[in-house]
Structure formats: C-alpha cells, structure tokens
Amino acid sequence: MNRIDQIFSSNKKLISIYFTAGFPNINDTVPIIKKLQKAGVDLIEIGLPFSDPLADGPTIQESSTIALKNGMNTKLLFKQLKNIREEINIPLIIMGYFNPILQYGIESFCKQSKLIGIDGLIIPDLPVDVYHNKYQYIFENYDLYNIFLITPQTNKKRIKFIDKISKGFIYMVSNSSITGVKNSIENSQLQYFENISSLNLKTPQLIGFGISNSKTYKNAVKYSKGAIIGSAFIEFIKKEGINKIEKFINEIRS
C-alpha cells in the first residue's frame, strides 16, 4: 500500500509541511526531513526549486532562489535522498514545476523517485487532462500518486473529473492568490470549503495556501482531512534555524 493511503486511513487530522530542498543551506534537506518526522509531522512535501515559480509567493520564491544559488538541482536532490528510507517512514512527496521534470525525463524522474521511496508528486503546472492522456500510465507503473490542485475557480465538472482520477488526496487551494502567510481565514474561504464538502468527493482533501498558525490550521481541518503549511514554515526556519522545528509544529497543534 502506498504510504499516503496508510496515513489517510487514520482518524487524526494531518499536518503536511512543505519546504524547499537546499534551503536555507544546501545540505539541510535530509536534516529537515528527519526533524519534521521527529516532531510528529504526518506528510512532507519536498520542494524542487525552479527559477520561475508562478504559483509561489515571495517567501517560497526567495527560498527557491537561495536554494538554486546554493547549487540545488534535480540530480543533487535525488542524491541527497538516496538512503532516506533507512530512517524515514512517513510519506514523502516531491513538489515541483513541470519544466525541470520534463528536462530530466518524465519516466526517468518517476523511476528515480520510486527507487528512493518517494510516494507522490505535486506538479502545479501540469494540467490534469495532459496528465491523464499522456503520463498517467507512467506514474501508475511506478506507484506514484500525482496530486492535483483545485481552487475556488475550479468548476464542479473539473473537480469531479479530478476526483475520479485522483489517488491519495486532493490539494485544496484555500484562495485564488499565490502562496503566502495569512493570519486568518476569510468568510469567502469558509464558504468555498463548505461547497467542496457538500460534493462528497471520494478523495480526501488537504487545505493549503495561507495556513500559518494554530488558528488557521484548526479552521482548515474542520473542512478537510488536514492542512499544508509552507511559507510560514520557511519563514520560521529562516529566522529560527532548523533546530527548533519541533517548537513550530507544537505551536500549530496547540
């Protein structure tokens, strides 16, 4: 069974953390993963930095720029993660844009991901139709789940199609803007969450974009299986360093 399915079979509300590989320092990738697992995180999204991250806000853009300057790239990330499953047992997802994956080779990327124990991919700029028609069989051949995003602008027909072909979970973007830290959830977002809940989708959802503290986390998980935190975590390790990660996670769950 895919590790993503295993974690979603539990009754607990989940915390997924996104961070950019190679940030703040080039060799921080594996130490951050280890500290996140020790802190009780349920799922980790490892960001593959890209020079033109269209969906990302300034915090993640900056972390990507620094990671690239540090020397992070696809080959190095795979090298860093080569033995990750000797110590890490929670689900790991690589989140990145399609261009670097295409340059590496779709099947080669999937094969290498499988070899090192990656459970899924999130590729925000890979349209669901293109995936379904051209690449789905490759992902399935390597037991990799491709996680799709839905937004307040995604129409019901498309949401139903995404739900039909999805495995693992659906990444439910909480608002129409780029990623970033927000201190509260607006009424329009709550209405959107309720609308999605009313569709009774077969695939569980995690809510991301703007989840930054205990308040926004608790509001999000009322309408989903859990929440994804990215920008707030990156801001934290930028200021506090990676040795206080447990403090950040404890504050979210408090």
Q: Is residue 18's pLDDT more than 70?
A: yes
Which of the pair, 176 or 81, is modelled with greater confidence? 81
| Contacts made by residues 189-193, CB under 8 angstroms, sequence distance 24+ | 189/152, 190/219, 190/223, 192/152, 193/220, 193/222, 193/223, 193/224
Q: Is residue 87's pLDDT more than 80?
A: yes
CA distance 126 to 102: 11
Task: Tell me the pLDDT tens digit for each residue of 207-247.
Answer: 998 899 999 999 999 999 999 999 999 999 999 999 999 99
- Residue 235: the pLDDT is 96
* Strand locations in 14-137 (E): 14-20, 43-47, 92-95, 120-122
Q: Is residue 24's pLDDT more than 60?
A: yes
Q: Is residue 254's pLDDT more than 80?
A: yes
State what percent of residues in the chain have pLDDT above 90: 84
Residues 6+ apart with CB under 8 A from 148: 128, 131, 162, 166, 170, 171
On average, the pLDDT of the chain sits at 93
Query: Among 95, 80, 94, which Cα is nearest to 34's?
Result: 80
Task: Tell me the pLDDT tens digit for each residue of 33-62.
Answer: 999 999 999 999 999 998 876 667 889 999
Task: Tell me the pLDDT tens digit for each residue of 103-157.
Answer: 999 999 999 999 999 999 999 999 999 999 999 999 999 999 999 999 999 999 9
Band (pLDDT 50/70/90 cuts) for residue 190 is confident
State what percent of residues in the chain have pLDDT above 70: 94
Q: What angle do CA 180, 7, 80 make, to 5 degrees?
A: 65
What distances in angstroms separate CA 57 from CA 73, 179, 252, one per listed residue? Answer: 20, 5, 21
Q: CA gyration radius for the chain?
A: 17
Residues taking part in catalysis: 45, 56
CA distance 166 to 139: 12
20 DSSP β-pair partners: 47
Band (pLDDT 50/70/90 cuts) for residue 176 is low
Mean pLDDT of 162-180: 82
CA distance 78 to 123: 17
| Contacts made by residues 232-241, CB under 8 angstroms, sequence distance 24+ | 232/181, 233/17, 233/18, 233/19, 234/18, 234/19, 234/20, 234/23, 234/59, 234/60, 234/63, 235/59, 235/181, 237/19, 237/23, 237/24, 237/32, 238/24, 238/63, 241/24
- Residue 26: the pLDDT is 98
Q: Is residue 63's pLDDT more than 80?
A: yes
Domains of the chain: residue spans and CATH: 14-253 (3.20.20.70)
Q: Is residue 161's pLDDT more than 50?
A: yes
pTM of this prediction? 0.93
Residues 6+ apart with CB under 8 A from 213: 183, 232, 251, 252
- Residue 178: the pLDDT is 46
Residue 157: phi and psi, rounded to 5, are: -60, -45
Cα 213 from chain centroid (whole Å): 17
Mean pLDDT of 90-99: 97
